[in-house]
Structure 1
Amino acid sequence: MISLNQISKKLTVSAVIFGSVFVIHNQVQAETQEEIQSQREEVQSEIDDKEAELQSLKDELVALNEDIARINEAIESNEQKITDTKDQIAQVEEQIEPLNEEIAQLEEKIAKRNKILEERVSTLQEKGGSQSYLEVIFGATDFLDFVDRMTLVNKITKSDQELLNSQKEDKEAVEDKKEELDQKLSDLKDMKAEYEAMQTQVKEQKEQSEAYKEELEAKEEANQDVLDDLNVEEQVLANKEAALEDAQNQMNSHSNDIEQFSSNSNNHQVASGDVQTVINVGKKYIGNSSYGFSRGRSAKDIANGIFDCSAFVSWAFRQAGVSLPASTAGLSSTGSRVSPSDMQPGDLVFFNTYKTNGHVGIYVGNNEFIGSQSSTGVAIADMSSGYWNDKFAGHVRRVMN
């Protein structure tokens, strides 16, 4: 028969052996978690770099699109100017057409006048030129006849002079009109050529901008693919870390004595701490936080108010000196389960969202809880009706006295 003393010795030896194994396991697991955390920090650093690079590309694309918009406006404006110039050229050409007819008519008149002058010159030559005028004058029969002949000769001479002057003026007027229209037409054609050259240059600039835009968009797509891969890698590491943390918490929950180790009952212990600290510490994030899957486990995320539900709960309790798992799986077996009718502020409340116990928050009283909600970030929500009431299945755990 085994004595009580022998049983006591065996229990002591078992406790020492278990404690040694527990310490060794903790050391190995701590090293593994440290490695994973280091990997996550490296991946997060790469994610931050890629996000910054993507933002820079987006900013550059915005500026480039604005440039392209201005180029399109310039192209449209130049097209309008070219069209207007073509219209003006057509109008000038329409003005030149009747002018050519006028020139033809004036040339015809000039030709007729030349013929008249030629005939008069020929007549004068036949009659002795100015001698004929003298014969006409001195052939008068009396003084009145002399005066009449002088007047006639003066009229003929004056008419010839006026005819010559008129011919000269008409010719100059025609030449001036033609020169003016030719100059205007030349200026318009030069203007049109200048606009067309400008249009060609602007279109080339647009082609270059469009090509650069395609290059930036290709870079953006490639960087987004890399970022997606990094986020997947970060998520895998986060899941590994959460699994290891759950295992660590389960080992910690069995460390009191051999009896609790064998019965796996230590999960029902509760810690001491300030409930009001847990409830109030997260209120500073209400309205200026966001939900991020597997986020809220780094100093950077916490500073920026980025949490998932379990990370927020773990962080809030940590501010009151209570260490809890940072996963819903770990939290769902922590502390002791209580009836919903016995809920008190500081208790954990679980909701069956995308899975059983898929969401967790901290009960604050009056059928309300605070948590990092996927739609709002950190917020206080009503669990007495609506969505959260539908998802609440009565799972409540107490982790603090």
Structure 2
Amino acid sequence: MTSATFLSILIGGALIGTSIHAETIDDLEDRKSKIADERQEIKSNLSEAESEMADLLIELEELNQEIEQLREASEKNQEQLDETEAKIDITQEDIDELQEEIDIIEKRIELRLDILKERLSSYQKQGGSINYMEVVLGSKNFGEFISRTAAVNKIMESDRHLMESHQEDKQEVEEKQSKVQSKLSELEEMKVELEGMITLIADQKEQAESKKEEMKDKQTDLIALQEELKMKDSDLASLESNIRGEIAAKEREQRAQARAVASETNNSSNGNIVTVSSKTSEDKSSSIGNSQSGKKTSGSYSSAIQAGYQVMGTPYVWGGKTPSGFDCSGFLSWAFAQAGKSIPSSTAALQSVGTKVSYSNAQPGDLVFFNTYKTNGHIGIYLGGGKFLGAQNSTGVAVADMTSGYWAEKFAGHVRRVN
């Protein structure tokens, strides 16, 4: 993208004021060609900026869609996280209930352990080495044998069932604990994963939002650049128009000179004598200026006033410095150039030209300043009698009254005399 600095340098060269020495038509044509090239360069840069803006808008739309998708994903993950936390709570309740069951089973186990301990204790008291055959063979008769055999079988069966129940209860406790713990672990892992996913999405969304802000800033810069390019193109177009006007004026002047030469040649060949008018239009303009002022013209710049009268009605053009169009400072620079005096063509530079004088001592040809959009924002040539000649943005080059109304309000007494 062409930078604003480069464009400022580019345009600055084109907007340099018209030099004091007269330019030929070829010079003007050359300037017009250069300005046309510069305008073409600006239009190319403007086209690039517009293309970049179009790409940026597409990227912004895609980014907005991405942000919306991230928002939806975050909401869904949050819902799943809420559900998982609810399941964890339910599972924890199941664990609490299971713990009650485990407590009951463990009490049964403890009871069986007590019974087994008593059995072992009784067995040890009897010597600890009585086996099944000794119990049976120690019978006194067959009836006692049957009774002892049955008793031993019952004891052995009871102990067997006791041990089996004991093992089953222990296994049941372990299975239930394992199942619930497994479910709880699974839910906890899911919770951690969901929390991590939500954090990741939040980071991605934050990055996308940050990128969106950067793109908006870039969009603002592009809009500003486009406006600047359009303004500079407009300024160049105005300058180009001024140069065309100068070329047309010089062509008219050349044609008039050619006709005058042809007429003089024709009169000479016929033996006629050419006489000169007793008073030129310039002398008339001078008499008009002096009759308005009633004062002596400052320095030798009555011809600057006379030149100004000759272009009255010229339209106001910002940056204009030729009879095709003037702004206030450009008009003064041109008028004084006609009197052979070079002065700047900007209000900022003109406010320090020459010598400052009081308004009570002002003479025709002095510079008068007005505080319009800024201090010393407008300038004109003083004519005397409270009148001044200047390029006004509403009427073009015209005479205005500075003793009442708008200009009286804007005049703060700043007057300078060109040395």
| CA distance 1:109–1:238, change in 2 (3 Å) | same
Name the structure 1 match of 2:74. Answer: 75
Shift in Å, 1:248: 6.3
Pairs within 5 Å for 1:2-401: 27=26, 29-128=28-127, 131=130, 137=136, 143=142, 146-242=145-241, 245=244
Shift in Å, 1:168: 0.8
| CA distance 1:27–1:134, change in 2 (3 Å) | closer
How big is each residue's C-alpha offset from its partner over 1:170-205, in whole Å with a ceiling of 9 and x where there is no partner? 101101211222222223222222222232233222
How big is each residue's C-alpha offset from its partner over 1:250-309, in whole Å with a ceiling of 9 and x where there is no partner? 888999999x99xxxxxxxxxxxxxxxxxxxxxxxxxxxxxxxxxxxxxxxxxxxxxxxx
Q: What is the one-letter code of the residue matched to 2:214?
A: E
**Contact preservation (8 Å) 1:110, 1:167:** yes
Percent sequence identity over matched residues?
A: 34
**Contact preservation (8 Å) 1:124, 1:132:** no
Shift in Å, 1:97: 0.8
Shift in Å, 1:37: 1.6
Distance 1:64 1:140 in 2: 98
Distance 1:223 1:255 in 2: 47
Shift in Å, 1:139: 7.3
Distance 2:131 2:28 in 1: 142
Aligned length: 237
Q: Secondary structure at the match of 1:197?
A: helix
The unaligned stretches of length 5 or more in structure 1 are 1-23, 262-401
Q: What is the one-letter code of the residue matched to 1:187?
A: E
Q: What is the one-letter code of the residue matched to 1:173?
A: E
Distance 2:205 2:139 in 1: 92
Shift in Å, 1:111: 0.7
The unaligned stretches of length 5 or more in structure 2 are 1-22, 261-419
Distance 2:82 2:248 in 1: 80
**Contact preservation (8 Å) 1:78, 1:199:** yes
Distance 1:136 1:39 in 2: 127
Distance 1:250 1:147 in 2: 152
Distance 2:69 2:131 in 1: 83
Q: RMSD over aligned Cα, in angstroms?
A: 3.5
How big is each residue's C-alpha offset from its partner over 1:1-28, in whole Å with a ceiling of 9 and x where there is no partner? xxxxxxxxxxxxxxxxxxxxxxx97545
Distance 1:121 1:133 in 2: 15
Distance 1:49 1:234 in 2: 15
Q: What is the one-letter code of the residue matched to 2:152?
A: V
Shift in Å, 1:165: 1.0
Distance 1:95 1:124 in 2: 43
Distance 1:73 1:93 in 2: 30
Distance 1:249 1:94 in 2: 99
Distance 1:34 1:131 in 2: 131
How high is the TM-score relative to the length of structure 1? Answer: 0.51
Q: Secondary structure at the match of 2:76?
A: helix
How high is the TM-score relative to the length of structure 2? Answer: 0.49
| CA distance 1:39–1:133, change in 2 (3 Å) | closer
Shift in Å, 1:69: 2.6
Q: What is the one-letter code of the residue matched to 2:231?
A: V
Q: Secondary structure at the match of 1:65?
A: helix
Distance 1:126 1:195 in 2: 64
Name the structure 1 match of 2:20. Answer: none
